[in-house]
């Protein structure tokens, strides 16, 4: 089991790109695989999560050819040959690894197929709630059985078939649930509408439109018309702002630091982290350079400052949910209080991120009050180095590696293999930052 050791840094001066966006990579593998021909996908994220989705599509009969790969990980550039919406029954259980996005999106897809399949994953994934997709997909006509030890948890046995269109009001703001229903809706004969309680990341809608599938957005009502086939097209995936977030915080709270993250996704449903950091006193400039593939991307430039705490607004939470661990670290390093409420969803991520963040911050000397739906951090006390567990959660591992760059003494994060689920090459990038260089 690997671990990461960090010591405090005095300077951070770097310009680089982070790997491709995880959310967009999953969707690209799925939509290209359903399309009517070959699609070249560039800057695919070669992380374990996204490789699982690629393997899943391959088990469903979709061929792909690797053009470029990241050594020791997986493809970064590939041609996916669309199967014209005609998938085949997988010969084995479909393994989604650690990926909630992979499992929930694939469940939507499999619910509409005329065969039985089983979706499974690792222990963490098999303890996360799947009732949220089972219920709407069952209403559309699929039969899904949760075979896990915990009620409503994976493995999922899906007996798919002809689905009927529907309008579904989501009780929780979830892009994964929305996307599962829209993908299932593609296989119906009518209009399927998802009503979200508040805005969630909109990559599926954007990619459907990019692949020329007729869909409509009217505020928080998102609809797709069934009976259409995505048009095969090439696609370039922007860098993942959720991966960039670790470096953005590392620089934002270090006075004098300068960081330029290039070609990173700037989709407005993903940039709430920047708004919060700016409220905390950070100096951040972001510039959209292009929207060629239906997703805005560009550069983010950060100049380090001393930060102060802020309140994260309830409506901001879905659009920074994955950044809460690293924002909490920023809160501990800032002066004053930071509060995060309305974030109960954090308890059902790759770990219970309210308790894992609070435990690790407290171990480093921070004052944290934990609530059922969030936490309040009284920042400004110096953090001290510690041996900390990642709890098998990639974002906890990376957030606390960054905390270690700003703590006194040495910090060691144990159990860090999980980082490969979202950020292959993180350790290499960290080594370069520690050495005062720009990662390559
Ligand atoms: C994701 C949506 C988010 C996020 C996850 C990726 C997606 O979850 O936490 O890491 O790609 O759709 P929700 O389904 O809770 O929005």
Concatenated DSSP letters of 286-348: EEEEE-TTSS-EEEEEEE----B--EEPGGGGGGTGGGHHHHHHHHHHSBEEEEE-S-GGGGG
Feature table: binding site for 3-phosphoshikimate: 22-23, 27, 174, 176, 322, 349
State residue 1's pLDDT score. 79
- What pairing do the DSSP bridges indicate for beta strands 13-16 and 387-389? unpaired
Percent of the chain with pLDDT over 70: 100
Mean pLDDT score of the chain: 98
- The model's pTM: 0.98
Written as six digits, the tokens of 6 are: 């960090």
Q: Give yes or no for residue 407 CB within 6 A of ligand 1.
A: no
State residue 175's pLDDT score. 98
State residue 346's pLDDT score. 98
DSSP 384: B
Q: Give yes or no for residue 133 CB within 6 A of ligand 1.
A: no
pLDDT at residue 300 above 90?
yes
Residue 176 alpha carbon to ligand 1 centre in Å: 5
Q: Give yes or no for residue 267 CB within 6 A of ligand 1.
A: no
Task: Give the confidence band of 280 by pLDDT, cuts at 50, 70, 90.
Answer: very high
Q: Is 14 helix (H, G, I), strand (E, B) or coil?
A: strand
Residue nearest to ligand 1 atom 10, measured at CA: 322
pLDDT tens per residue, range 235-254: 999 999 999 999 999 999 99
Quickly count: other Cβ atoms within 10 Å of residue 86's Cβ.
11
pLDDT at residue 119 above 90?
yes
Separation of alpha carbons 327 and 312, rounded Å: 10
Q: Is the alpha carbon torsion for 155, 159, 165, 166 positive or negative? A: negative
| Three-class secondary structure assignment of 127-175 | HCCCHHHHHHHHHCCCEEEECCCCCCCCCEEEECCCCCCCEEECCCCCH
Atom of ligand 1 lying closest to residue 22 CA: 11
pLDDT tens per residue, range 59-117: 999 999 999 999 999 999 999 999 999 999 999 999 999 999 999 999 999 999 999 99
DSSP 237: P
Using alpha carbons, select from 162, 62, 56, 165 the residue that is nearest to residue 117: 56
**What is the set of domains in the chain, with CATH numbers?**
3-19+238-434 (3.65.10.10), 22-221 (3.65.10.10)
Q: Is it true that the peptide bond before 132 is cis, omega within 30 degrees of 0?
A: no
| Sheet order of strands, 167-169 included | 167-169, 191-195, 221-225, 215-218
Task: Give the confidence band of 371 by pLDDT, cuts at 50, 70, 90.
Answer: very high
Atom of ligand 1 lying closest to residue 321 CA: 9
State residue 276's pLDDT score. 98
State residue 137's pLDDT score. 98
State residue 72's pLDDT score. 94
163 contacts 141 by C-beta, under 8 angstroms: yes
Feature table: binding site: 22-23, 27, 100, 128, 174, 176, 322, 349, 353, 395
Atom of ligand 1 lying closest to residue 345 CA: 15
Q: Give yes or no for residue 176 CB within 6 A of ligand 1.
A: yes
DSSP 232: P
Written as six digits, the tokens of 76 are: 């970064």
């Amino acid at each position: 089991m690997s671990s990461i050791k960090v010591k405090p840094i005095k300077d951070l001066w770097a310009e680089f790109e982070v790997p491709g966006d995880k959310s967009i990579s999953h969707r690209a593998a799925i939509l290209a695989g359903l399309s009517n021909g070959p699609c070249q996908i560039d800057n695919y994220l070669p992380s374990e999560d996204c490789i699982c989705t690629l393997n899943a599509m391959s088990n469903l009969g979709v061929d792909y050819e690797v053009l470029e790969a990241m050594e020791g990980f997986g493809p970064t550039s590939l041609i996916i040959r669309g199967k014209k919406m005609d998938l085949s029954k997988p010969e084995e259980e479909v393994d989604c690894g650690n990926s909630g996005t992979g499992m929930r999106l694939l469940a939507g897809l499999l619910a509409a197929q005329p065969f039985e399949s089983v979706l499974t994953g690792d222990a963490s994934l098999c303890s996360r709630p799947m009732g949220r997709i089972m219920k709407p997909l069952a209403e559309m006509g699929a039969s899904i059985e949760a075979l896990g030890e915990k009620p409503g948890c994976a493995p999922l046995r899906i007996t798919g078939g002809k689905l009927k269109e529907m309008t579904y009001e989501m009780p929780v703001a979830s892009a994964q649930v929305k996307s599962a229903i829209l993908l299932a809706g593609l296989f119906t004969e009518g209009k399927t509408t998802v009503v979200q309680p508040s805005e969630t990341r909109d990559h599926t809608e954007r990619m459907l439109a990019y692949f020329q599938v007729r869909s409509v957005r009217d505020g928080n009502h998102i609809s797709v018309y069934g009976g259409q086939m995505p048009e095969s097209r090439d696609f370039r995936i922007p860098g993942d702002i959720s991966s960039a977030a670790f470096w953005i915080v590392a620089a934002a709270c270090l006075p004098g630091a300068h960081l330029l993250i290039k070609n990173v996704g700037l989709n407005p449903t993903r940039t709430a982290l920047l708004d919060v950091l700016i409220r905390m006193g950070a100096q951040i400039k972001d510039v959209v350079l292009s929207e060629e593939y239906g997703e805005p991307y560009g550069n983010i430039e950060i100049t380090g400052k001393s930060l102060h705490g802020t309140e994260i607004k309830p409506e901001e939470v879905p659009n920074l949910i994955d950044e809460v661990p690293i924002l909490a670290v920023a809160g501990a390093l800032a002066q004053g209080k930071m509060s995060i409420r309305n974030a109960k969803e954090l308890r059902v991520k790759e770990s219970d991120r309210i308790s894992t963040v609070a435990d690790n911050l407290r171990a480093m000397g921070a004052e944290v009050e934990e609530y059922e739906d969030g936490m309040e951090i009284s920042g400004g006390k110096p953090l001290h180095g510690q041996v900390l567990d990642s709890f098998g959660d990639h974002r906890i591992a990376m957030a606390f590696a960054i905390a270690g760059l700003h703590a006194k003494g040495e910090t060691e994060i144990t159990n860090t293999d999980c980082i490969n689920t979202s950020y292959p090459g993180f350790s290499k990038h960290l080594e370069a930052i520690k050495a005062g260089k720009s990662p390559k």
